Amino acid sequence: MTAGSGTMAHSEKVARATEELLAACAAVDPAELTALANAISQARRVVCHGVGREGLMMRALAMRLYHLGLDAHVVGDMSTPPVGPDDLLVVSAGPGDFSTISALIDVARQAGARTACVTAQPDGAAPRSVDTVLHIPAQTMADDLGAEPKAGSVLPMGSLFEGAQYLIFELLVLELRDSLGISAGDMRARHTNLE
C-alpha cells in the first residue's frame, strides 16, 4: 500500500500518522529548541509569521507566548507594533523559503531586530539568512511531489511538518514556562474571557 492509495484502514492511518509525528518531533535537536527559547525569552517583543497552514501554527505559538506573559504579536494584525533592536521576528518556512518570508526577514534585520526561522529545509534561503534556526525534519510541500513522495508521509502535502510544529511549539512553551518561572495558573489567568 502506498501513502496516497487510500486503501489503508483507519487504524493503520492513525498509527502511521502518529509514528511520523513522533519521529519528526523526536528528531528535533534539543539544543536548537533551547536556542529558540533563549532568543524568545531575551526579546523585548516577539512577532510571529507564517503563510498558509504554517501561519496558523505561528498564530498558535504567538497566543501561547502571550499566555506566558510575553509581548507577542502576529504580522498583519492591526495591533502589531514595529520591530526594532531587542525584538525578535520568528517566521516559518517549512520548504526553506517563501518570497514574503524572505522580505519580512530583510525588513526586520534592517530595523535591527533579530530573526529566527522554523523550517524543514535548513539549507533554504530563509533559514540561511536568520540568527536562529529550529529544524523540524518533516515532509513539506517541498518534497511531497511524485507518485511516491520522497518522505513518504501518509499525511498530505505539508501536514506532517505543520502537525509537528504544533507539538514542538508546545514543548517550546513548556521550556519557556520553566525557564521563566511561569506557572500553569499564570498562563490560564491570561487566557481571554471573551469567548
Looking up cell 533551547, which residue turns up?
34
Residue 195 annotated to the active site: no
Q: Using the Cα atoms of residue 161, residue 163, residue 169 and residue 175 in order, give the sign of their dihedral.
A: negative
Which member of 19, 148, 162, 195 is catalytic? 162
64 and 169 Cβ atoms separated by less than 8 Å: yes
Letter for the amino acid at 72?
A
Neighbours of 33 (CB within 10 A): 18
Q: Tell me the sheet residues that pair with 49.
A: 91
Q: What angle do CA 101, 103, 105 make, to 5 degrees?
A: 70
> Phi/psi zone of residue 86: left (φ > 0), alpha (ψ -120 to 50 degrees), beta?
left
**Catalytic positions:** 162
